[in-house]
């Protein structure tokens, strides 16, 4: 696969990713005319909502040819509301091109993307775009990039950066000897792939200036995919709906191959591959096989979700890191009289394409809520639901997603032994952990107390059992230790432990009590010094914690930790009083204890396990096939 490069274009919205993709396709001859994002003629923006809004809202796959090398390009969404899609696409490629506007500079999503590049340990190139604009300032923008991403090095002056990390080049540099261009390119390739340097180029996707130099760098400096023979292993980085062929699972193959009519495991089930398409010179083309190192759309995985692994998970060496979390939720209703269950089905299909958009269904009141990243995402979802399903919808106000954590160590117990036939006895020890620890599960029950298959049933029931604590929010930052249990040789069925686990844990949370947690953001502000007093007072008013300001001439740089609940609309306020000249970026920084008067509880969805008799009745009906959701 030396003649393949799998790359992603990533940037803040309107930095020119899609225009650059069009330019590369045009210059290679893959398309006859360069499309326009503003006119809705860009090849990779094929959704109606993308053409109407002039933005990309989902990842798109295309391919071009550069100097005899096939370059597969994943064009990613630019708005921060779609960052989880971006991060999965970055995981699936071997190299990344980050675009930054020479006019707007480093913006909110730029920082998030560069942070993801660092976490994923991916070779990276930066392209400062839009240098053809009258107010472009690439030198200022490069300084901004360098400030938050120190490995960035301007390619036109990269010899000194190379000399600082390479002994051979250092000797030439110190002696005043000019380092030959072929040596520089060789060293840049070496140190880009080893993640020591990120070369930066300047140009314009509209005029083509600098694009040829960037194209050569993509081939020369970013690595080809590794080839692994043997059993099939792959990652589904995106899922989309195809009107003619159904669900398309965009897959990166890491090991073996994926072939039409092949049976492949996914999520514990087997699926038959019906069709495969891969990008060939600007077009998605039918093919029989995707080989190790290739990317393409696979059809036949009817239950595929974005983020799924296919085949043998262990064949993929690196693990998918934690992605940005959706911090808000909103209600969804049909405004055209559509049945709520039909809307639920539509949202379930969309949630498979974007798993961070969790669907929360309350069966008693028949209400629907979804987790989202922001208002732009809900506007796009409204358009997609109408276009694909013909349902008109309305979204409620944004509410922050809180969490709970145990307040102290405690035990939870339940003996589910009636009405027979059933027998499942469980005892858990619940221990609080430090913030950000997540949920740690262990089993220290004596080996003779509970058989292995029932232990596994308990473990698989944990996630659903902690989705709602006493305050209605997910419970986190704790260790759950199964310290004792009991089954019966005649009366026990594995599903008995599916019923008993939430009962025992609900008893445990009643004994430990829970503390409410709220999400915080890490905000970075850049603004004129005259606004410092206003910004500082606003941060304190929002219960935020400001850092020490840095002042450079008449510009102030300030960082702060702020509760998400108090800062939902602050970016608009900040932009208003700074006349649009101030820059604010925000990233999720974790959950902290929420002062009791400032928090909110969440109404329980389904039957409360603490109402034990009613819960058991509902659970038994659900497990026997009756439509009744208990959690």
Query: Residue 201 belongs to what H/E stretch?
Result: strand 198-202
pTM score, whole prediction: 0.77
Q: What is the pLDDT of residue 630?
A: 43
Last residue in a domain, options 459, 488, 512: 512
Q: What is the pLDDT of residue 626?
A: 39
Q: How far apart are the C-alpha atoms of 561 and 518, rounded to whole Å? A: 12
Q: For residue 173, is it within any domain? A: no
Last residue in a domain, options 495, 512, 529: 512
Q: What is the pLDDT of residue 366?
A: 80
Q: Which two tokens stand for residue 582?
A: 């101030």
Question: Tens of pLDDT along 355-368?
Answer: 667 888 877 678 88
Chain-centre distance of CA 171, in angstroms? 44
Residue 354's domain spans which residues?
328-399
Q: What is the pLDDT of residue 42?
A: 58
Q: What is the pLDDT of residue 48?
A: 59
Contacts for 486 with CB less than 8 Å, ≥ 6 apart: 415, 423, 424, 425, 449, 450
Q: What is the pLDDT of residue 410?
A: 98
Three-state DSSP at 376 gives helix
β 198-202/124-129 pair status: parallel
Q: How far apart are the C-alpha atoms of 391 and 395, rounded to whole Å? A: 13
Return the CATH number at 570.
Answer: 3.30.70.240
Q: What is the mean pLDDT of the chain?
A: 89
Asked whether the beta carbons of 332 and 347 are under 8 A apart, the reply is yes
Q: What is the pLDDT of residue 53?
A: 56
Q: Which two tokens stand for residue 583?
A: 């820059």
Q: How far apart are the C-alpha atoms of 20 and 381, rounded to whole Å? A: 26
Q: For residue 202, is it within any domain? A: yes
Asked whether the beta carbons of 320 and 364 are under 8 A apart, the reply is no
381/308 same-domain check: no
Return the CATH number at 98.
Answer: 3.40.50.300
Return the CATH number at 298.
Answer: 2.40.30.10
| Positions in the chain whose pLDDT score sits under 50 | 625-631
Q: What is the pLDDT of residue 102?
A: 96
C-alpha distance across the termini of the chain, in Å: 48
Q: How far apart are the C-alpha atoms of 525 and 567, rounded to whole Å? A: 13
Asked whether the beta carbons of 221 and 189 are under 8 A apart, the reply is yes
Q: For residue 226, is it within any domain? A: no
Question: Tens of pLDDT along 99-124?
Answer: 999 998 988 788 889 988 998 999 99
β 439-443/289-291 pair status: unpaired
Q: For residue 227, is it within any domain? A: no
Return the CATH number at 333.
Answer: 3.30.70.870
Q: What is the pLDDT of residue 358?
A: 81
HSE-up (13 A, CA, CB side) for residue 581: 11
Q: What is the pLDDT of residue 420?
A: 82
83/202 same-domain check: yes
Asked whether the beta carbons of 557 and 549 are under 8 A apart, the reply is yes
466/482 same-domain check: yes
Rg (CA), the chain: 27
């Amino acid at each position: 696969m030396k003649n393949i490069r799998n790359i992603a274009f990533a940037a803040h919205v309107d930095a020119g990713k899609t225009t650059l993709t069009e330019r590369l396709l045009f210059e290679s001859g893959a398309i006859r005319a360069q499309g326009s994002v503003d006119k809705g003629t860009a090849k990779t923006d094929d959704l109606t909502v993308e053409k109407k809004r002039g933005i990309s809202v989902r990842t798109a796959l295309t391919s071009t040819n550069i100097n005899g090398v096939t370059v597969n390009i994943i064009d990613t969404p630019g708005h921060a509301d779609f960052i989880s899609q971006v991060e999965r696409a970055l995981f699936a490629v071997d190299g990344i091109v980050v675009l930054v506007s020479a006019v707007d500079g480093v913006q909110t999503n730029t920082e998030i993307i560069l942070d993801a590049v660092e976490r994923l340990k991916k070779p990276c190139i930066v392209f400062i775009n839009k240098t053809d604009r009258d107010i472009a300032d690439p030198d200022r923008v490069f300084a901004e990039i360098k400030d938050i991403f120190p490995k960035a090095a301007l390619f036109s002056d990269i010899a000194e950066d190379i000399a600082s990390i390479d002994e051979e080049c250092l000797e030439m540099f110190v002696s005043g000897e000019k380092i030959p261009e072929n040596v520089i390119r060789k060293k840049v390739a070496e140190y880009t792939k080893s993640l020591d340097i990120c070369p930066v180029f300047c140009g314009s996707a509209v005029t083509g200036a600098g694009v040829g130099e960037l194209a050569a760098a993509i081939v020369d400096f970013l690595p080809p995919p590794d080839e692994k023979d043997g059993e099939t292993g792959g990652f589904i980085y995106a899922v989309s709906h195809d009107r003619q062929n159904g669900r398309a699972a965009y897959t990166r193959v890491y090991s073996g191959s994926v072939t039409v009519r092949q049976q492949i495991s996914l999520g514990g089930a087997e699926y038959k591959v019906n069709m495969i398409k891969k990008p060939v010179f600007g077009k998605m083309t039918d093919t029989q096989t995707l080989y190790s190192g290739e990317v393409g759309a696979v059809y036949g995985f009817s239950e595929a979700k974005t983020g799924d692994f296919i085949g043998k998970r262990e064949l993929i060496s690196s693990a998918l890191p934690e992605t940005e979390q959706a911090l808000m939720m909103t209600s969804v209703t049909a405004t055209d009289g559509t049945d709520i269950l039909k809307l639920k089905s539509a949202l379930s299909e969309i949630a498979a394409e974007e798993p961070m958009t969790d669907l929360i269904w309350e069966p008693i009141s028949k209400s629907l809520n979804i987790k989202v990243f922001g208002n732009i995402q809900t506007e796009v979802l409204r358009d997609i639901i109408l276009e694909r399903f013909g349902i008109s919808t309305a979204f409620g106000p944004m509410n922050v997603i809180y969490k709970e954590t145990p307040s102290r160590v405690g035990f939870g117990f339940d003996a589910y032994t009636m009405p027979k036939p059933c027998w499942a006895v469980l005892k858990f020890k619940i221990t609080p952990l430090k913030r950000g620890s997540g949920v740690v599960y262990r089993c220290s029950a004596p080996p003779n107390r509970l058989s292995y298959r029932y232990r596994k049933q308990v473990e698989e029931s944990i996630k659903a059992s902690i989705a709602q604590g006493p305050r209605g929010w997910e419970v986190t930052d704790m260790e759950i230790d199964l310290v004792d249990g009991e089954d019966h040789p005649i009366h026990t069925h594995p599903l008995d432990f599916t019923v008993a686990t939430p009962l025992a844990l609900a008893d445990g949370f009643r004994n430990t009590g829970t503390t409410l947690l709220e999400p915080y953001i890490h905000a970075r502000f850049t603004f004129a010094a005259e606004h410092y007093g206003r910004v500082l007072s606003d941060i304190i008013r929002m219960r935020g914690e400001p850092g020490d300001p840095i002042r450079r001439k008449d510009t102030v740089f300030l960082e702060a930790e702020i509760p998400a609940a108090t800062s939902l609309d602050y970016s608009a306020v900040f932009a208003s009083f700074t006349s649009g000249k101030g820059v604010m970026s925000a990233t999720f920084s974790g959950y902290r204890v929420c002062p009791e008067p400032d928090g909110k509880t969440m109404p329980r969805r389904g039957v409360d396990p603490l109402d034990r008799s009613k819960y058991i009745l509902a659970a038994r009906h659900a497990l026997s096939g009756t439509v009744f959701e208990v959690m």
